[in-house]
Structure 1
Amino acid sequence: MNAPSPSMLPATRITVMQGQARVSAGPRVELTTVLGSCVATCLFDPQVQVGGMNHFLLAEPPASHPRGVIDEHYGVYLMELLINEMLAHGAAKPRLRAHLYGGANLRPGMAPIGSANASFARSFLDREGIPLIHAELGGNQARRVDFRPAIGKARCRVVESALVPDTRPAPRSNAEIGDVELF
């Protein structure tokens, strides 16, 4: 009797949360995340069979962000972190291949953060010379992404937007804000 291939064995699921990057060469590892306006980048090196995923909230910090302060919620940081982790696991930059997911604009009337995130991710990969082999970006629906890093395979499904964490600041009550007196 033949042993089942590693891709057919049950997966060990690792959730990639906002502000995280995870890399693995484990044949049974599956990286998973749920995205709204956030973007997940999945990288894969087919020769050494290692891959990884990040999950960023915003593309770049605003001009008012303190210089030199690293904030893991920004794509500009997490893209570099993912690439460096891939290289540390034996990947070579010229062999990297990418998938991009997310970047939805879930709430009408809000700033198009998802579009900005998607545009940043595409531009970053282009600048770095990393081929984008698959993308599911934009729209107005949340997505769940499951990625098998050792074989570079991904599955993306639309999910209820209610399952996506709301990352907007909570509204403050008038008691918290204080009274405003106009002159």
Structure 2
Amino acid sequence: MNRLILASGSPRRKELLQKLQVPFDIFPSDADENLPEGIAPDKAVLLLAERKAKTVAESFPEDIVIGSDTVVALGDEILGKPLDSDDAKSTLKKLSGRTHSVFTGVSIIKDGEPQSFFEKTDVTFWALTDEEINRYIETGEPFDKAGSYGIQGYGSLFVKEIKGDYYSVVGLPVSRLYRELKSAGLSF
């Protein structure tokens, strides 16, 4: 059986992939994450997931490689990881009291051929006070996360409602990935 390889150093993706209860190795991708100007969020996550998977698959052509990427979007505006505290505050103010979308793209490369998909989940935030935003920024949690928040951590206190796959918001749509891997021939 081919090895399963996760092309990510994300501890959240590692934890989520462990839910499938199959052995896998981790080889983080160093793929270029720059996006073309004006790219739609769904196209962005597919492009980045495929780049990450392809970069790692070049070194492991006999194995099954999973690449993934997540973006937070308010309309067509992609809200990346914050540059600093002011950027995080600005992003969280934009999300306050509104519904945004989280897109997670996945690319599975087997025998050199990518199979890619994305999941979209809509997340609605409560209206946030400046005090709540400042206290959250002080936790340090926003700084390595798209959209400046983590739904699985303290950021969960901001979430009024989600429509879609919770695990996709965390970083990997486990249920869909399981089905896609089964159709690619992986035995569970």
Smaller-chain TM-score bracket: under 0.3
Give the structure with the larger helix fraction. 2
TM value normalised by structure 2? 0.25
Larger Rg, first or second structure (1 or 2): 1
TM value normalised by structure 1? 0.26
Give the structure with the larger strand fraction. 1
**Larger RCO: 1 or 2 (CA < 8 Å, sep 6+):** 1
